[in-house]
Amino acid sequence: MAEQDVDLFVIGAGSGGVRAARVASSHGARVMIAEEYRVGGTCVIRGCVPKKLLVYASRFREEFEDAAGYGWSIGTPAFDWPTLIANKDREIARLEAAYTTTLERYKVALVKSRAVLDGPGAVRLADGTRIRAKTILIATGGWPYHGDDIPGIEHVISSNEAFHLDVLPKRIVIQGGGYIAVEFAGIFAGLGSEVTLVYRGENILRGFDDDVREHLRNEMEKRGIRIICGHTVAAVDRSGDELVVRLSDGTRVPVDKVMFATGRRPHVDGLGLETAGVKLAPNGGIAVDAGSQTSVPGIYAVGDVTNRINLTPVAIREGHAFADTVFGNKPVTVDHSNVPTAVFSEPEVGVIGLTEAEAVKALRVVDIYKTSFRPMKATLAGRDTRSFFKLVVDGETDRVVGCHIVGPDAGELIQVVGIAVKMQATKAEFDAVMAVHPTAAEELVTMREKAMSYGREAAE
Ligand code: FAD
């Protein structure tokens, strides 16, 4: 088989891989990138982007319902799933083409093939072609993980398939308590499915602030989502056209679809890591140093495959920093602290920094400010919903070290609050900003009463 030489070979044309490839090429490197599925990766093809489009679709239900209180009468709205999916697919195809064009514009050679390591300085394509590369970047992302095998697992879908269902399920069980599980629960409920969320832990969104978890759970339940915590799906039986989910306590739930969103694992199987000597970290991701170099000099890894913070902007930053450092003679280290993030549930969640529990463990003095209120729009709409804002403050320095929001546009809000938190703004500096009235966000600068104060006596 033919052999070729490149300066950089990137395995995986997702968020991290595409960015690294084009930046390395702009620094003058000869770059080749391999993609075994579709250019754009998880985020564009079956993650953030199609997910957000489905979230938008699901939110029209409340808009239609709420309009009546504002004097609108709009008849009976009807929803058509195949139209939504076809339109979504068209947009994803457009984005995939745009990513491909970008690679071409930057003179990155794209091979539509699986690629695996073939020793430390080479990769092998599916047709056997061997490519020698001075530097290799592994950016293969993650893959849904369904946990232990259960009877009937073949009937279970993941988020990958949820984007391509022929019909909207009338009833669905979603197992999982992470952001993908709660987002899809909101999507399906908003579009009209009867949703049961099953999670083995004591409450959804493990790792998030406890008030956020409680608040979101309440709001989801108000929207008719049945949330069953402390149980798991033990089996899925087919019974004619329908599926019957058996829970660990013996409860049987008849459904049309069962989806698991029980986590994602780094996509490393069969990559040839052992033959090249690339080591894994205890969390299953490829072990890397601060500059994303693996245990083998010349082989780097970025994004979800390293299992650091599995978000698109993080993968992009890591890919960009790698390319600037290795090919641009411009050393850059990615700062993984204070990464803002959103959950596009209904209502939305936006968070940055420490939770109350984390702050109490890490700091000597912690002040908590929080408020829960009915959003103005809900008044005339007659909707029973509440928003939640919380600031976690280091009581010794007055710095805002955490912000947690549940409510409309929380994702948009946390991006902006993130700037202040990253700049190490103090609570006094938040308070010095004039409120924008009437908004929900004005709560961020008007909360004066401490809801809780930890450790002040001990520190004094
Ligand atoms: P990926 O984007 O996964 O790209 C890896 C690519 O490598 C894939 O295209 C894959 O086909 C290819 N590949 C794998 N192995 C090989 C091989 N051997 N040879 C050739 N090609 C290979 N993040 C956010 O920030 N915001 C969100 O709202 C959000 N929502 C999400 C919703 C869902 C349902 C999912 C699943 C994820 C979501 N994410 C979100 C996470 C986000 O998609 C990932 O963090 C991001 O895509 C990681 O980028 P990456 O470059 O590491 O890998």
Stretch (H or E) spanning 122 = strand 122-125
Report how far residue 298's alpha carbon sits from residue 136's, in angstroms, rounded to the nearest whole number: 6
Distance 410 CA to ligand 1 centre (A): 23
Q: How confident is the model at residue 317 (pLDDT cuts 50, 70, 90)?
A: very high
pLDDT of 1: 45
**Catalytic residue flag (residue 437):** yes
Tell the residue nearest (CA) to atom 34 of ligand 1: 47
User: What token pair was written down for 251?
Assistant: 């409860």
Distance 44 CA to ligand 1 centre (A): 8
The pTM of the full predicted model, rounded to 2 decimals, is 0.97
Q: Which fold has domain 4-144+265-327?
A: FAD/NAD(P)-binding domain (3.50.50)
Sign of CA dihedral 30, 34, 35, 41: negative
Report how far residue 17's alpha carbon sits from residue 34's, in angstroms, rounded to the nearest whole number: 9
Report how far residue 278's alpha carbon sits from residue 177's, in angstroms, rounded to the nearest whole number: 32
CB 370 within 8 A of CB 390: yes
pLDDT of 120: 85
Q: Which CATH architecture has domain 341-450?
A: 2-Layer Sandwich (3.30)
Q: Does position 70 have pLDDT exceeding 60, yes or no?
A: yes
**Residue 150, C-beta contacts closer than 8 angstroms, at least 6 positions apart:** 233, 234, 235, 236
CB-neighbour burial class of residue 61 (10 A; exposed 0-12, middle 13-18, buried 19+):
middle
Q: What percent of the chain has pLDDT over 90?
A: 96
User: What token pair was written down for 281?
Assistant: 């970290």
Question: How far lies 367's CA from each of 298, 338, 363, 404, in Å?
Answer: 47, 18, 10, 14
pLDDT of 447: 98
CB 452 within 8 A of CB 365: no
Report how far residue 267's alpha carbon sits from residue 130's, in angstroms, rounded to the nearest whole number: 21
Residue that the structure tokens 């599980």 belong to: 181
Question: Dmax of the chain from CA atoms?
Answer: 73
| 330-369 as b/e: b if 16+ CB within 10 A | eeeebeeeebbbbbbbbbbbbbbbbbbebbbeebebbbbb
Catalytic option among 27, 164, 404, 437: 437
Report how far residue 202's alpha carbon sits from residue 375's, in angstroms, rounded to the nearest whole number: 28
pLDDT in tens, 133-160: 999 999 999 999 998 789 999 999 999 9
Which regions of 256-337 does DSSP assign to beta strands (E)?
257-260, 264-266, 299-301
pLDDT in tens, 80-127: 999 999 999 999 999 999 999 999 999 999 999 999 999 889 999 999
Sign of CA dihedral 246, 249, 251, 257: negative
Q: Does position 232 have pLDDT exceeding 50, yes or no?
A: yes
Distance 266 CA to ligand 1 centre (A): 10
Q: Which of 145-149, 299-303, 324-328 has the lowest mean pLDDT?
A: 145-149
pLDDT of 209: 98
pLDDT of 148: 79
Distance 319 CA to ligand 1 centre (A): 13
Q: Which fold has domain 153-262?
A: FAD/NAD(P)-binding domain (3.50.50)
pLDDT in tens, 234-256: 999 998 889 999 999 999 999 99
Q: Does position 460 have pLDDT exceeding 70, yes or no?
A: no
pLDDT in tens, 172-205: 999 999 999 999 999 999 999 999 999 999 999 9
Q: How confident is the model at residue 459 (pLDDT cuts 50, 70, 90)?
A: low
Of residues 298 and 240, more confidently modeled: 298
Within this chain, domains 4-144+265-327 and 341-450 share the same CATH topology: no
pLDDT of 457: 67
Report how far residue 231's alpha carbon sits from residue 248's, in angstroms, rounded to the nearest whole number: 6
The domain locations on the chain are 4-144+265-327, 153-262, 341-450
Tell the residue nearest (CA) to atom 6 of ligand 1: 12
**Residue 217, C-beta contacts closer than 8 angstroms, at least 6 positions apart:** 203, 204, 227
Cross-strand partners of 392: 368, 402
Report how far residue 201's alpha carbon sits from residue 229's, in angstroms, rounded to the nearest whole number: 6
Query: Is any atom of ligand 1 closer than 6 Å to the C-beta of 144?
Result: no
CB 414 within 8 A of CB 405: yes
Atom of ligand 1 nearest to the CA of 114: 19
**Residue 88, C-beta contacts closer than 8 angstroms, at least 6 positions apart:** 50, 53, 54, 163
Tell the residue nearest (CA) to atom 27 of ligand 1: 48
